[in-house]
Structure 1
Amino acid sequence: MDLTADRLVSRAARELGRDGDRLVHDVERVLRSELPELWDDPEAMASENIADHVVAVLAGLEHGVEPGSVEPPAAEPERARRLARHGTPVSTLLRAFRLGQGVVLDRLLQELPRHTDDAELISAATRRILRTATGYLDRTSERGVQAYQEERERRLKGRLSLVNEAGLRIGTTLDIARTTQELADLAAEHFADLVTVDLLDSAIRGQDVPAADPPVLRRVAQLPDPAEQQLHSYVDGSPPALALATGQPSRHQDPPTLVVPLRARGITLGVARFVRHRTTDPYDDEDLLLAQEIAARAAVAVDNARRYTHARATALTLQRSLLQHHVPPQSAVEVACRYLPAGDRVGVGGDWYDVIPLSGARVALVVGDVVGHGIHAAATMGRLRTAVRTLADIDLPPDELLTHLDDIVIRLSAEAADDPAIDTAGDIGATCLYAVYDPVSRRCTLARAGHVLPVLVTRDGTVDLLDLPPGPPLGLGGLPFEAAEVDLAEGSLLALYTDGLIEARDHDVEAGLDLLRHALARPGPSLEATCDTVLEALLPARPDDDVALLLARTHALGVRQVATWELDADPAAVAGARSAVARQLRTWGLEELDFTAELVVSELVTNAIRYGRPPIQLRLIHDRGLLCEVSDAGGTTPHLRRARAYDEGGRGLLLVAQLAEHWGTRHAAHGKTVWAELNESDQALQALLKVAVTE
């Protein structure tokens, strides 16, 4: 039988196949030398994989299969996908095919002269081998590249989907621990078996530069075991330490690990580690890039959370520092107060309460609410609270006080509008309820500026809203405020609050008022317990708005603590007033104040007779100290002045100011009252005055 080119090719392929192991070894040796990275994943490229290709080519040549019909191994697309998952470039895959083809072609061409010396036949056989090898290479490369590209596209879609998922799942709150835990949860679900997230302790505390060397970190999230929030430092030169120092990520093997710094706005906040131990698949550059993108999103969320936390803590500290910490001693009411900031996303607001002792054993009860949230609302609250206390100190009636406070808010709003550094969404606005309770008359005078109505609980348990005249919110200007007077029996409970207590997403104001009525109707062992009951009944764990609550139970001063005399507008009445005071002090057991009280009363009554108008009234109140009050129908306010050496008068009020612990003037609808508060412990001053008078 004549030898043809096809038979020559078949015979050469058969002979070469008998020494196939050696051929496979030669191909593997070349590939290991030229492309060692192929063996980073043993399952993607091994001796068995090479043998499959060699067998397929030699079998096709031996049996005369058409050049374009030699089928590559069925497992080849999956191997290409594994290389894609491993991050091996597609050029490496194609070069591996060409290198393998070159080794097999060399061996085949070396085999042909052993079977014939016909140069023409060898040339024809060579062309046949080249056509088959080229067709096989093209077909294998095409399928490999297609599988590789499909895997790459699938991974790209998965990566984009994961990055999008990270944007939805990470940073759902402004809580640092929650945000870092969301990062750990996402990574553990998709590409890591062990995740740790460490934040610089200085960053958590609001500092942008680490305060210690080496930096001190706090473990804020960890999976699968929960983090214990322990402080620690990394060894100098370790991958996490280098990531913190350089801001650059890194990947490592044994075990596969990604170390990614958490950086936002040019500041390194911490470091995250992602480790695999359930699989031998190493991380590639794309995995590192994916981890960087997710960590970058998490870092921005963490930075937002820490900045918000710091700003909220600052505003809350300011807010609490501006609120009343201790209720001043007074006998008019028993009080219990609460302030609760809103939930994390809302921020600190401008709600406040105040209890202000006034002259005549009276007390002012105040609750207000500045519109808005944040540090500017807290600062505005502080300014308004100071203004209220100042206006209360001059004993303005509630309606007049709110009128002056309205003017102050208008001026503050104008100042804020002219200051570009103040970020306000509009004019400054506020609401306020101001009440003055007199334990002698048991009468409460109230006025409100756009504020919610107070609640009154009588001694028999009846709970009602006090019907007060409506008043505009502070800051509108030009509209009047009206006051209402209510007689309160001793033991009545007055509840003042801000709208955050009764307004919520799950119910309207009326439902909130019903809940408040039910909570106040339940008797409690103390006002503090009643406060807690009200807050538990009406507020969720994270309120939508901040809340101020002030509960006041009224007391009364009876006839045994108050003495009143009507005086004639005659200088001779001064002596009678002194005698009446001395007798009353002996009745109360306050003989040690006799000298001081007689002197003060003498000066005040003399001034009322000389400069005021009848009727004139003298009143003593025995409360925590001794209160001396002289009232007349005149409107002239007495003032301190410095008497000259030869002046016969002008020293009376100066003497009163020196003897009294406090003194002042308050105006009423008809006339005025000059008052002085004497302390029972002024014995040293009395002795000094006695010596001075004797001399």
Structure 2
Amino acid sequence: MEHVSAAATLSADGMVTGWSEGARRLTGYPAEEAVGRDARELLAQEVPAGALPALAGTADVRCRDGTVVALRLRGCALTGPGGTPAGYVVTAEPPGGGEPSPAERAFEQATVSMSVFDTRQRYLRVNEVACEVMGRPEAELVGRSLPDTLRDPAQSQGFLEHLRQVAETGRPERYESVTGTSPHDRSHAWVTEMWPVRDGSGEVLGTALAAFDSTEHYWARERLALLNESAAAIGTTLDLVRTAEELIEVVVPRFADFASVDLMEWVLDTQDAPAPLMEEIPLRRVAHGSLTEGTPEASVRLGQVDVHPAPSPLVRAMREGRVYLGRADEPDFVRWVAERDARSSQGRAFRARAHSMLVVPLRARGITLGVAVAVRADHPDEYGPDDVVFAEELASRAAVCIDNARRFARERTTALTLQHSLLPTGMPGQAAVEVAHRYLPSVSAEGVGGDWFDVIPLSGSRVALVVGDVVGHGIPSSATMGRLCTAVRTLADVDLPPDELLTHLDDLVTHLGAGDDNGEVAELGATCLYAVYDPVSRRLTLAAAGHPAPALVLPDGTARLLPVSAGPPLGVGGLPFEATEVELPEGSVLALYTDGLVEDRDRDLDQTTAELCRALTAPAASLDALCDSVLKDVMPEARGDDVALLLARTRALGAGQVATWNVPADPEQVAEIRQAVTRQLIAWGLGETAFITELVVSELVTNAIRYGEAPIQLRLIRDRSLICEVSDASSTSPHLRRAHAFDEGGRGLLLVAQLTQRWGSRQTDYGKTIWAEQPLPPSERSGE
């Protein structure tokens, strides 16, 4: 059959209004017989009235001679003024009657979905791919409105709006969309190019589109976006379990329907040496999650240890160091599901639907830490090679974060152990103050700091209260703290005044920070508050090196900060420290603390110190209870530094526990002094100590008269021990030596050292004091 093209025009109600020569040749009807007839009369099949889709596609046409021929029809709607239907133009040609043009072939054979619409979004033409996408043949699409052919017009509202804009504005559009985004539906991504179709005069006749299936590119971008999100979402803390939970939150539900993280036990125990991979590997479940609330499909509880045999996919992935990809039709996968079912009946329905899984070893710095498992059951797509690459990258990042948390936990444990070994575990026996203390290590990512406190008994029933803070965190900070704590105790034994003690401590820090023989300089710095309280005089002497001033609560309930010259931090050097001296009523409460208690980025320092003073005045059953309430009321919620708090309630030694004599600078008065001491001891009920005490008093007073300067004073203090003090105006301190056989002197201090529990000397503002302590029976000790 020759290639004959025919055309006809129809009115809006389907009546033939025009007839071409080609139409006459194909059907045998001349124009005078065809024009005015109903177009349905020319068709061999019954069609509804006014159904233009019947004039689209292949249709059987009845010729004038009664024969029936199959013709390929295409219809185009015409509109009149105001958009009213004006009729149709129908073209026809034999299905095989002639070769289609290259343009027609290109349209039909395109690998992308292509469609042509009129200005009212009614189909004019579609190719085969478009028919496959829509799930309908061309005959059911041509002539129908696009919204009428969509499964879910509401979901395609954006697509329709863009197509209308192209028809109205004449400007091309690019539209990206995703269909079937439910986890239970296969998702497809589309990139649709839309452009106007114009006539020779430039008038818009309709629109055309080409839709590209970009599903693979879409999921590749999604995986990349998920990786980028994981960088910010995983490792936000240095808590190991929380890091594993963050990994689960990233992959469920966007990548997996169920996921779990199991770690080797040595990782959680913060051991330094990794455990070898044996034939059977015990793993502890640290995190899991799923689409189902409560994760009933988990056969292992959180915190439970599960031993995995060699054939297990988990052991296989860990030993081989690569991802295991399992699918439902594989024996290993089937065995794994059966083994899970045998362990727990919960979640059996989920496991029955599971169709693929990924087992990813968690490796960081060449060490295997554990394994992560991802399972898909309701997700329609099985895991594939691209998912394996993604899982490897995600697991690598997560493993580094987990290992960082493990290392931090190990260092934190070491630093805490070191710090606890250096901090006082029990307060030494002394009668000057009642003490309570708290130490809370930092919970920040920087690690444990170098805060410390101490209570040091001094001679003469006095006591030293110390609080310090080393710059930095971690083991180096704790080690420096130990050095300073030891140095303070050593200097306190020398009985230096607070300002002089801080000067020596500053020299030590400066020396430690000066560097070693290789020129390496250590970054050292610290603050310190050193206070000495004398229960006899009830005077408190204190000095600070860059440290917050202590708070004082008087017996009447008023609280304030003591005005202390802060001085420079330790290690700065070159600037002096100033001592402050105040007299305290008995029963006063002194609060020494580190800056972690009062420094808060969300609150002003004056505000927090005022809160501290208010908290210290709150009623409390004991000093321990007061410590807890102060921390609760004052400590910042987002605590990023260590906190040390030391509370001390002052006591006083009354006149009944102290006896004082002014000693004339005359050796003949020593015997009278001895008698006075004996009388006082008998009055205290300590007559049995009189012999030793007389010897000590005789030696110390004689030395003061012979080698010291007036005025000379003798003082006895009845505390937990019997303390004998002799003061004079000379600054020269005696020293212990062993006398030779023919020496006439030199044995006095040796005798004192042998007869007493301990002895020593201290410098005062007016000279020196030589002291010695004798033990008392427990029943005679003050306060017992």
TM above 0.5, yes or no, is yes
Cα distance 1:469–1:186, how it changes in 2: closer, same or farther (>3 A)? closer
| Separation of aligned partners in 2, 1:660 and 1:333 | 24
Contact residue 342 and residue 542 of structure 1 kept, 8 A: no
1:223 and 2:323 aligned? no
Which residue of the partner structure matches residue 589 of structure 2? 493
1:644-659 aligned at under 5 Å gives the runs 644-659=740-755
Cα distance 1:279–1:547, how it changes in 2: closer, same or farther (>3 A)? closer
| Separation of aligned partners in 1, 2:557 and 2:420 | 33
Give the letter for the 1:259 counterpart: V
Bigger relative contact order (CA 8 A; separation at least 6)? 1
| Separation of aligned partners in 2, 1:285 and 1:231 | 31
**Helix, strand or coil: the match of 1:552?**
strand
| Separation of aligned partners in 2, 1:77 and 1:355 | 83
1:606-645 aligned at under 5 Å gives the runs 606-645=702-741
1:394 to 484, 494, 498: 494
Which residue of the partner structure matches residue 256 of structure 2? 192
Cα distance 1:594–1:613, how it changes in 2: closer, same or farther (>3 A)? same
Contact residue 548 and residue 566 of structure 2 kept, 8 A: no
Residue deviations 1:615-641 (CA, integer Å, cap 9, x gap): 221111110111111111112211111
Which residue of the partner structure matches residue 157 of structure 2? none
1:234 and 2:308 aligned? yes
Give the letter for the 2:535 counterpart: P
Which residue of the partner structure matches residue 641 of structure 2? 545
1:206 to 267, 271, 281: 271
Give the letter for the 2:325 counterpart: R
By how many angstroms is 1:361 displaced?
A: 0.2
Cα distance 1:399–1:64, how it changes in 2: closer, same or farther (>3 A)? same
By how many angstroms is 1:292 displaced?
A: 1.3
By how many angstroms is 1:368 displaced?
A: 1.4
1:483 and 2:579 aligned? yes
By how many angstroms is 1:280 displaced?
A: 5.2
| Separation of aligned partners in 2, 1:595 and 1:246 | 84
Contact residue 371 and residue 429 of structure 1 kept, 8 A: yes
Which residue of the partner structure matches residue 146 of structure 2? none
Which residue of the partner structure matches residue 473 of structure 2? 373
Contact residue 592 and residue 680 of structure 1 kept, 8 A: no
1:72 and 2:172 aligned? no
1:364 to 461, 464, 486: 464
Give the letter for the 1:655 counterpart: L
Cα distance 1:460–1:281, how it changes in 2: closer, same or farther (>3 A)? same
By how many angstroms is 1:594 displaced?
A: 2.1
Which residue of the partner structure matches residue 686 of structure 1? none
Residue deviations 1:12-62 (CA, integer Å, cap 9, x gap): xxxxxxxxxxxxxxxxxxxxxxxxxxxxxxxxxxxxxxxxxxxxxxx99x9
1:252 and 2:326 aligned? yes
Which residue of the partner structure matches residue 19 of structure 2? none
2:455 to 355, 361, 373: 355
1:279-294 aligned at under 5 Å gives the runs 279=379, 281-294=381-394
By how many angstroms is 1:522 displaced?
A: 1.2
Cα distance 1:266–1:419, how it changes in 2: closer, same or farther (>3 A)? farther
1:164 and 2:224 aligned? no
1:72-471 aligned at under 5 Å gives the runs 72=128, 74=130, 147=213, 150-204=214-268, 205-210=270-275, 213=278, 214-224=280-290, 225=294, 227-254=301-328, 255=354, 256-279=356-379, 281-415=381-515, 420=520, 427-471=523-567
By how many angstroms is 1:494 displaced?
A: 1.0
The answer for unaligned runs of 5 or more in structure 2 is 4-70, 73-93, 110-126, 136-178, 184-209, 296-300, 329-353, 780-784
| Separation of aligned partners in 2, 1:561 and 1:311 | 50
By how many angstroms is 1:571 displaced?
A: 2.2
**Helix, strand or coil: the match of 1:233?**
strand
| Separation of aligned partners in 2, 1:509 and 1:561 | 43
Which residue of the partner structure matches residue 662 of structure 2? 566
By how many angstroms is 1:211 displaced?
A: 5.8
By how many angstroms is 1:505 displaced?
A: 1.3
TM-score by length of 2: 0.68
TM-score by length of 1: 0.76
Give the letter for the 2:281 counterpart: P
Corresponding residue pairs, total? 561
| Separation of aligned partners in 1, 2:567 and 2:624 | 30
Cα distance 1:580–1:241, how it changes in 2: closer, same or farther (>3 A)? same
User: Which one has a larger percent helix, Structure 1 or Structure 2?
Assistant: 1
Alignment RMSD, CA only? 2.7
By how many angstroms is 1:411 displaced?
A: 0.5
Aligned sequence identity (%): 56
Contact residue 260 and residue 287 of structure 2 kept, 8 A: yes
By how many angstroms is 1:673 displaced?
A: 0.8
By how many angstroms is 1:394 displaced?
A: 0.5
The answer for unaligned runs of 5 or more in structure 1 is 5-58, 86-142, 684-695
Contact residue 502 and residue 538 of structure 1 kept, 8 A: yes
**Helix, strand or coil: the match of 1:433?**
strand
Contact residue 549 and residue 566 of structure 2 kept, 8 A: no
**Helix, strand or coil: the match of 1:190?**
coil
User: Which one has a larger percent strand, Structure 1 or Structure 2?
Assistant: 2
Cα distance 1:469–1:236, how it changes in 2: closer, same or farther (>3 A)? same
Give the letter for the 1:464 counterpart: R
1:579 and 2:665 aligned? no
| Separation of aligned partners in 2, 1:432 and 1:221 | 44
**Helix, strand or coil: the match of 1:595?**
helix
Contact residue 629 and residue 676 of structure 1 kept, 8 A: yes
1:530 and 2:611 aligned? no
1:35-54 aligned at under 5 Å gives the runs none
| Separation of aligned partners in 2, 1:340 and 1:195 | 36
By how many angstroms is 1:570 displaced?
A: 2.2
